[in-house]
């Protein structure tokens, strides 16, 4: 049932092959000093870096750079970014990259003027922001996280083996995002399909919660079908613009608050996956992939009706003459088949996890209560063991 909620999403999206021009509309709204945040430098190879620098200069901006944002941005990097932003007295942050770069840019934007240690305040304690926020804009080069149109930000603390995501309010959402599907063409296949599964997982974390025929469930079934359809095309031809553009658009709407309306939401796959990531530094989407099938097999009995619906509405399983369990199982089999077809990692072993890590990974997993079954420590260890065997 749709309960009481508010919906408001202030991020403006510029989509398509010409979308970088949107920078010329947006940059004049902000002050002179811009912190340009990016990752490992692939944007220099593709030429995007030069294009962005030119537009920033054309708009008379003073540019301060913060490069080298890693796939799982660390708390040490966050301190470094804050220092740069303070030194440059920056008025605006432009993030050019994938979800990690956008996530990190939002973390910097709320942390620069924090009087307390931002890790403690905004990640460990997940407090609301009560200090000045530096506005952020994004140029997206990788899809999956939905970070371009939401308040999510994930930071990793290797010392304490914690990878924590804080979903900030709309004052932290990017002011705008530039979404050109062509920028995603050069991504290596491993990262590309990891991103596809990240999208799938975002939808499933919301879909597998609550019991009723909510409009959000129908919207999510549409997003899932579009993703499955286009992902099969994209793995065969990564430069298929139509497929990549539909996937990019699906990723945004999978996690910009819309489809969560009326849902309790689960997020346990992310909790387990993030803990795996803190131990292995593996690619986010792959950690989710490697724990999903064991997790969903484990919780299926507690949400059987929804798993049955998932099989029929998303995977076109023919229900005739089958028990609910059979139908639900067939749905997960279809999902597993699709995962293998597009080349996802099915075992945390392949991601570098070892038997001696499992207890720690389980201990580092935040237990949430929105899904069909509230897990205990032993159940998480069992799920991880199943993934080790896959």
Q: Residues in the site for a second copy, rule: CB under 8 A?
A: 1-19, 22, 181, 212-215, 217-223, 225-226, 229-230, 241-242, 245-246, 249-250, 253, 258, 261-262
β-sheet with 136-140: strand ranges across: 62-66, 33-38, 92-97, 136-140, 176-179
Rounded-to-integer distance, Cα 388 and Cα 374, Å: 22
| Min dist. Cβ of residue 49 to a second copy (A) | 22
Give 167 or 233: the residue with its C-beta nearer to a second copy: 233
| Min dist. Cβ of residue 277 to a second copy (A) | 28
27 and 55 Cβ atoms separated by less than 8 Å? yes
| Min dist. Cβ of residue 173 to a second copy (A) | 12
Q: Which phi and psi angles does 179 have, rounded to 5°? A: -125, 95
250 and 201 Cβ atoms separated by less than 8 Å? no
Q: Is 207 helix (H, G, I), strand (E, B) or coil?
A: helix
Give 111 or 256: the residue with its C-beta nearer to a second copy: 256
Q: In angstroms, how far is the first alpha carbon of the chain from the final one?
A: 37
107 and 122 Cβ atoms separated by less than 8 Å? yes
Give 187 or 314: the residue with its C-beta nearer to a second copy: 314
The pair of structure tokens assigned to 227 is 């993703």
Give 7 or 115: the residue with its C-beta nearer to a second copy: 7
| Min dist. Cβ of residue 144 to a second copy (A) | 15
Give 21 or 160: the residue with its C-beta nearer to a second copy: 21
Q: Is 175 helix (H, G, I), strand (E, B) or coil?
A: coil
Q: Is 184 helix (H, G, I), strand (E, B) or coil?
A: helix
The angle, 0 to 180 degrees and rounded to 10, between the axes of the packed helices 189-207 and 324-342 is 160
| Min dist. Cβ of residue 243 to a second copy (A) | 9
66 and 33 Cβ atoms separated by less than 8 Å? no
Rounded-to-integer distance, Cα 223 and Cα 227, Å: 6
| Min dist. Cβ of residue 246 to a second copy (A) | 5
Give 246 or 292: the residue with its C-beta nearer to a second copy: 246
| Min dist. Cβ of residue 332 to a second copy (A) | 21
| Min dist. Cβ of residue 251 to a second copy (A) | 10
Phi/psi region, residue 125 (left: phi>0; alpha: psi -120 to 50; beta: rest), is alpha
Q: Which residues on adjacent β-strands are paired with residue 156?
A: 74, 163
Give 245 or 387: the residue with its C-beta nearer to a second copy: 245
| Min dist. Cβ of residue 232 to a second copy (A) | 11
Number of CB atoms found within 10 A of residue 177's CB: 25
Give 218 or 302: the residue with its C-beta nearer to a second copy: 218
Give 252 or 280: the residue with its C-beta nearer to a second copy: 252
Q: Nearest-CA neighbor of 274 among 196, 165, 375, 142?
A: 165
Q: Which phi and psi angles does 262 have, rounded to 5°? A: 85, 0
């Amino acid at each position: 049932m749709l309960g009481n909620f508010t919906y408001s999403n202030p991020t403006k999206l510029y989509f398509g092959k010409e979308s970088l021009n949107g920078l010329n509309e947006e940059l004049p709204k902000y002050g002179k000093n811009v912190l340009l945040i990016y990752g490992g430098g692939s944007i220099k190879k593709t030429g995007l870096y030069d294009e962005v620098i030119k537009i920033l200069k054309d708009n008379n901006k003073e540019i301060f750079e913060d490069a080298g944002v890693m796939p799982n941005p660390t708390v040490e990097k966050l301190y470094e970014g804050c220092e740069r932003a303070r030194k440059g007295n920056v008025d605006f942050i432009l993030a050019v990259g994938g979800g990690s770069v956008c996530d990190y840019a939002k973390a910097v934007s709320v942390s620069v003027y924090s009087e307390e240690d931002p890790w403690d305040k905004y990640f460990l304690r997940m407090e609301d922001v009560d200090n000045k926020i530096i506005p952020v804009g994004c140029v997206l080069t990788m899809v999956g996280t939905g970070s371009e149109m939401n308040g999510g930000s994930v930071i990793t603390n290797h010392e304490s083996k914690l990878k924590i995501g804080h979903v900030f309010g709309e004052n932290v959402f990017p002011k705008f995002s530039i979404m050109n599907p062509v920028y995603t063409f050069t991504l290596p296949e491993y990262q590309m399909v990891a991103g596809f599964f990240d999208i799938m997982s975002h939808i499933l974390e919301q879909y597998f919660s609550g019991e009723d025929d909510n409009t959000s469930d129908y919207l999510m079934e549409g997003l899932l079908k579009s993703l499955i359809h286009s992902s099969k095309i994209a793995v065969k031809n990564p430069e298929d613009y139509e497929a990549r553009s539909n996937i990019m658009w699906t990723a945004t709407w999978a996690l910009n608050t819309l489809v969560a309306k009326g849902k309790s939401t689960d997020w346990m796959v992310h909790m387990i996956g993030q803990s795996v990531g803190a131990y292995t530094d593996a690619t986010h989407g792959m950690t989710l992939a490697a724990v999903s099938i064991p997790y969903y097999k484990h919780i299926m009995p507690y949400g059987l009706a929804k798993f049955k619906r998932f099989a029929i509405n998303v995977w076109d399983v023919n229900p005739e003459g089958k028990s609910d369990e059979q139908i639900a199982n067939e749905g997960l089999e279809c999902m597993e088949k699709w995962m293998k077809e597009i080349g996802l990692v099915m075992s945390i072993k392949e991601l570098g996890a070892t038997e001696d890590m499992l207890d720690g990974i389980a201990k580092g997993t935040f237990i949430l209560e929105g899904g069909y079954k509230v897990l205990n420590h032993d159940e998480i260890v069992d799920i991880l063991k199943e993934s080790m065997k896959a």
